[in-house]
Amino acid sequence: MSTLPHLTLLTTGGTIAGQAASSADTTGYTAGALDPSALIAAVPGLGELAQLQCDSLLSIDSKDMCPAHWLTLLARVQHHLARPDCDGVVITHGTDTLEETAWFLHLCLPPGKPVVLTAAMRPASALSADGPMNLYQAVAVAAHAASANQGVLVVVNGHIFAGADIVKTDTQALDAIDAPARGPLGAAQPVQFYHPAALTQAGCVPADALAGQTELPRVDILYVAAGSDPDLLAAAIERGAKGIVLALPGNGSLPANWQCAADAARARAIAVIRSTRVAHGRVAHATDTMLPAASGALNPAKARIALMLALAAGTPELSARLFA
């Protein structure tokens, strides 16, 4: 009997499974074109790391990922983690929305068996494709004992990141996935952790809060540039938004002409969160109760997901924890 760990490879499409007509083409390709067996065939040595069971869930470009997909993915991951013969899950994903899916899973999955996402910046058909090595290293990390109880992880370009920490920082570079605030947790070859993940919010969304749901409450992000008209906020609410995240200048600075619109939204029980357009730094929580709540360390995309989940759960305590 093999003593290798039993892992589930759950595929969702993305560039890592992309195919182009030319091996020199790294932009004009079809994402999610390859099935799991083709991905595995391109990575010799996987069988020496773990016994893999494949589960093809989606075959999409991650730019088309939506909350309904997240809920489906979450349910499938929970199903596999609950199996006694599954020691961990590896998920292939596109880079465009990798940070959003990883953050969603981080909030919904308590630490336990390893859950590792990986991706690629070059399609599988490209010269020097990065997908095969990323997949190999992701399986190696998921198979490693030290990866248990680390929360959701992301393995790309030789690094191990906390899923809660990552952002995409470049449109084409191989090192496009980074964790600017905290840096990598460790290295993927050989597997070693430099420091543990921050797990204060890991799995904080109660499982029963999402039970049976196929959608999440609509939350829109409004990018507030110099002179942006506040009627955008009312328009989003009229279209069905239950919450609004404002990507504001500086330290979540609300322009004076947006105050009335924000007040009107909150008077209608619409949640409004102040986030920032700035790449790094927290939005400070204000003592002025006239201002909408701050996103803390969350960028607009992550604040949107946190607000969706807070609205779905319907508990003020969760909101306070998510936006601490």
- Owner of token pair 């932009």: 27
- pLDDT above 80 for 1: no
Helix pair 67-82, 98-108: axis angle to 10 deg: 50
Q: How many CB atoms lie within 10 A of CB 176?
A: 18
SS3 10: strand
User: pLDDT tier at 133 (50, 70, 90 boundaries)?
Assistant: very high
- What percent of the chain has pLDDT above 90? 92
Instruction: Give the range among 117-126, 204-213, 245-254 with minimum mean pLDDT.
Output: 204-213
Whole-number Å distance between alpha carbons of 38 and 74:
24
Can you list the domains of the chain with their CATH numbers? 6-193 (3.40.50.1170), 218-322 (3.40.50.40)
Under a CB-based contact definition with an 8 Å cutoff, are residues 156 and 167 in contact?
no
Residue 208: is its pLDDT beyond 90?
Answer: no
Query: Coil, strand, or helix at residue 267?
Result: helix
Q: Angle at CA 225, nearest 5°, toward 219 and 228? A: 80
In the residue annotation, 200 being an active-site residue is answered as no
Mean of pLDDT values over 191-197: 96
Task: Tell me if residue 187 falls in helix, strand or coil.
Answer: strand
**What's the confidence (pLDDT) of residue 55?**
98
Strands (E), the chain: 6-13, 51-60, 88-92, 115-118, 152-156, 159-162, 167-168, 177-178, 186-188, 191-193, 219-223, 243-248, 271-276, 293-294
Q: What is the pLDDT of residue 315?
A: 79
- Catalytic: which of 15, 92, 95, 97? 15
pLDDT in tens, 255-279: 999 999 999 999 999 999 999 999 9
Quote the pLDDT of residue 289. 78
Give the residues across from 177 on adjacent strands: 168
Mean pLDDT of the chain: 96
The string of pLDDT tens digits covering residues 33-79 is 999 999 999 999 999 999 999 999 999 999 999 999 999 999 999 99
Q: Model confidence at 233, in pLDDT bands (50, 70, 90)? A: very high
- Contacts by residues 179-185 (CB-CB < 8 Å, ≥ 24 positions apart): 180/279, 180/280, 181/280, 181/297, 184/159, 184/160, 185/150, 185/153, 185/160, 185/161
Q: What is the mean pLDDT of residues 223-246?
A: 97
* pLDDT at residue 189 in the model: 92
Q: How confident is the model at residue 286 (pLDDT cuts 50, 70, 90)?
A: confident
In the predicted model, what is the mean pLDDT of residues 191-204?
96
**Distance between CA atoms of 236 and 68, rounded to whole angstroms?**
20
Q: Where are the beta strands (DSSP E) in 105-217?
A: 115-118, 152-156, 159-162, 167-168, 177-178, 186-188, 191-193
